[in-house]
Amino acid sequence: MKRKMPENSHSKDKSPISGYRQGWLLFVLFAGLLLMGCKHPWEREKKHSIQTDSISNEFISIADSINYGVVIKARNDADDWQKKWLRSFDRKELVDFIFEAVYSGKLQPYDYFDDKPIAIEQIKQLENKEEFERSKVGKIQFKERWYFDTNRLQMIKKVYSIMLAYEVYKENGAFRGYKPAFKVYLNESVDE
């Protein structure tokens, strides 16, 4: 006669606690595999080599094109906040440098709206307009590329264009806003 083996002798424990452990173990394994396969988005980006004053390192691009405007002239002498943040900025030196670089041919001016080159004669006409004075240049718009070193936690911003804008006023003398004068691209070779 054949001997019957008890049914439970080779079967696994089917208790609810054991099922919970198996589910938890599967979840942990799946989550671990998922996390091991993921990389931070910065790690997938192409690296760039950038040389700064004393740093030569590999950086990743985090922004190919960032545009933003900065008010560089306090219009109201009573505005202590603007005066505080602009106290170390030499607006006149920057504006004069850009104009002189345009006149000497080191920088090519461009129209802000259609990005077409502007002749030196048009810059001279701008400077002869009654509404314009270099001292009224009160805003700059930067176009930049941003890079980040994920190892050293350093950020580099490379400005590749600057737009100068000057203050315009209504007939009653009230401030109306800023009007673009022109923009220039930095690190651009100008054919002479």
pLDDT digits (tens, 9 = 90+) for 11-61: 455 555 566 666 666 665 555 544 545 444 444 455 555 555 444 467 888
Buried b (16+ CB within 10 A) or exposed e, 31-50: eeeeeeeeeeeeeeeeeeeb
Give 88-131 pLDDT, tens digit per residue: 889 999 999 999 999 999 999 999 999 999 999 999 999 999 99
How would you label 166-189 residue by residue, b for 16+ Cβ within 10 Å and e otherwise? bbeeeeeeeeeebeebbbbbeeee
Residue 29 neighbours by CB under 8 Å, 6+ apart: none
Of the pLDDT bands very low, low, confident and very high (cuts 50, 70, 90), residue 5 is low
Using one digit for the tens of pLDDT, what is the confidence trace for 130-158? 999 999 999 999 999 999 888 888 888 99
Residue 119: per-residue pLDDT: 97
Quote the CA–CA distance of 40 and 53 in Å, as a whole number: 29
Please answer whether residues 148 and 154 qualify as being in contact, where contact means their C-beta atoms are separated by less than 8 angstroms. yes
The pLDDT of residue 23 is 63
Q: Which among 169, 143, 170 has a CA at the least distance from the CA of 158? A: 143
* CA–CA dist 186, 106 (Å, integer): 10
Quickly count: other Cβ atoms within 10 Å of residue 157's Cβ: 11
Q: Output the pLDDT for position 75.
A: 80
- Token duo for residue 77: 């002498």
Q: CA–CA distance from 118 to each of 11, 165, 190, 192 (Å)? A: 86, 15, 13, 14
Cβ density class 98-118: b for 16+ within 10 Å, e for less: bbebbeeeebbbbebeeeeeb
Query: In the prediction, which pLDDT does 40 show?
Result: 46
